[in-house]
A and B are shown apart, each in its own frame.
Chain A
C-alpha cells in the first residue's frame, strides 16, 4: 500500500443508459478524511457516479483505484466489503426492528443455540451510537425515531462496517435546520477521524460550510473543481450552468389572455406552511423549473384535485372553482398528465382504447352502457392525430414504448377539451423524435387557447418550450422569468433560492 495514493480514485468513468449517456469520461479523487461535495443540476450524473461507487451500477468504461490498487466493484456487497457505505436519500432502514437490529442486520451475533445473542448485539451497538452523539436506547424501534435519528442509525451501521468512505445522497433534504447543523458537524467529526465523505447536495450553503473540495458535474462530464477557499455561490452556479443549449423555441401564434387561470394558496404536505400562487395566460406555456423536491409535482396534484389542499383557490376565466377531487378538476377542463406515467397516468395492463376512454367514458355511453363503436372511434381518432405507434387500439399499453405511452396519456385528455393542461415531466424517458412531437403538440394546444403548465427538470426543455418560467424553491415560487430572461443561470440562481433582479414576483399586485 502506498501511503501517497489517495483513498479512492475514479478515472475516465463512462456509463450509458438506453437513449442517454449518463456519464462521459468522469474522474473523481477522494483523499483520506476528505469531504468532497459533488454537485450539478438535475440529471448531471451525480447519483449515477455514486451508484457506481456503491456497486449499484457497473461502469461501461473507466477504472476505480483504492489505495492506488485497481478495484473492481461487482455489486453492493463488494462495495460494502471495501469499506464504502452508501446512505441513500430514501433511507434503507427496517422500521419494525430496533436500533441494534438495524445496525447489525445480516451480521447478527449468535449464541450457542444459533439464536441472536441479544445481550451482545445491544452491547456492541452502544459504542457506535455514542460516537455519533445519538441519545436513544438501542431497543427503540426505528419507526419511533425522527428521520434525522434514523439517518444517524444508518451512519452508525456504516461505522460498524468499518467504512472508510461514506456516500451521502442529499442527506439533509428532509431534515430541519438544527438537524442539518448537527449532521454537518458530524461530517466534520468523521473527517477528523479519517473517514472520507462524498456529499451530494443541491444546497450550496451546506456545501460551502462542510466541504474541503467541490466537484461539479455537468451533462455527465467533469465541469470543474473548487477548493474550499475558492468556492463561492456564484462560482458554483457558473460551473453548474454554461452548457450549450440549442434554441428551438417557437413563438406562440395565438393571442394571450393574461389572468385566464389563477391559482392562489396551493399547499402540500411536503412543504407545510408554504403557498404557491400564480397567474397563467390563455395560450401560454408556463414552465415550472426547480430542483427535485421543490414541490412542483405536489402543486400539480393539488390543482388537479388528486391531493387535498384546503386553502387553495382556483379561478378559471374569472370563475371560482372548487376542486376537492380529481373529477372536479376534470369537469372544469383541468387535466393532469402525471409524472409517473406507468403508475398514475395509465392502467398499463389495459388496452390503448380502454385507457384513452377512461376519463370520458360517460360521453361514449348511454344509460351507463358503453357505446363501443363510439369508444373505438374516439380512441382511433386520438391514435391517428397523435401518431401513436401501436399495432391496434386493442394493444395493451404496456407493450408500447415510453413515448407512445405518453401519447396515450395525452390522448385520453385530448379526447375531451382541455382548458388547462398540466404536464409533469412530459418527456422523461422519451426518445428525441417523440420529444419534438410532444413539444409541437403542446404549442399547438397553447395556440388553440389552452393554458399549458409544464413541470420539467430538463433544463433544455424548460428554456426552450416555456413562454415564461416560474422557478420553485422549497415549496414556493422564488421568481418568474419573462421570455427574454429565460437563461440557465437565472433559472439556477432562483432554483437554489437566490434573489435576482431579472425575476418578477409570481403575482404582480
Chain B
C-alpha cells in the first residue's frame, strides 16, 4: 500500500495478529492489521470498543496485557522489527523512538510520584541526563504543553491537577525523549468537551512543530476529522477501509464506515435522523464466516458470507474491504438527494 505523497514511513505495521487466551477460547483481537505511518503525519484509527484498535497500539509498543500475544506479523520502526526484540531491548526503543498517551490520565500517572519527576524520568533513563538536567528539560516540556506556573507545579502530585492538566502532563511525558511517533489511545475521551478541543489543538500544534507522527485511536469521528490526515477504520479486529480523512468521511466506501458516519452526531449540520447500526459486535473467538460485518450489513449478498474480502485499493491512497462497495456510494448519492 503506497500513500499519496512519497514520504518515508516511520512506522509500518505488517499483517499483525494478536491473540488473547481466555477460558472460552482464543480471542483474535487483532486479525491481520496493516498500517503505514508516514513521517510527520497523523493517522487515525477508528472503531467501536472491542474492534482491536487499542490492542493494536499496545502490540506496537509491546505493552500488551499478560494474556495477549503477538502471533504473527511485524512492526517496523525505522526499519527495525520490534516484534523480535526482548523486553530489555524494547525498553531502549520506548521513549526515545516511540511513545504512548493513554486515555485515563488519573490512573495512568503514578499517584505517589511528583509530576516533574515522572516527566524527567524518561530523559534520565534514556538520554543519560542527571537529575538537574532532566529537571530543566521537564520544566521546558511543561511550558511547551501549556502548564501554567511550571516551577511550582513541578513538585505537585497528579491528584492535585485537573483532568485536562493531567493529560498535558502525559503529553509532556510522551514528548520527553523526542520520539518520532506518538501513539494516542483515546486521549480525549475522558475529558470535558471544551478541554478536549484544547488538548487536540495542542497535540496537532506540537506534532506539526516537531514533525512527530501521530497514531490516533478513537471512536469519535469529529475528533479524527480535526486531528488526522489519514484514517483507517477497524471492525472486529480488521481494517475495513482506509484513506485520506476527508475522503473517507465524506464518501465512505464500506457499509460499516457509512453506518459510523450516519450515526455520528454532527455539530455543523442538522441531520434528519441519527441512524444506529443494527446488531452488536461479533464474537472474536468465533467470528462470522466471510466478511465479518455481513450479519449487520444492509447491502450483504451471497458472496459476503463465504468470502473474506481482502483490503483492496480502489483509487490512489484509498482501500476498502467490501466486495460491493459501489452500493455504498450509490446509497450516499440517494441520501444526498433526500436532504
A, B co-complexed: no
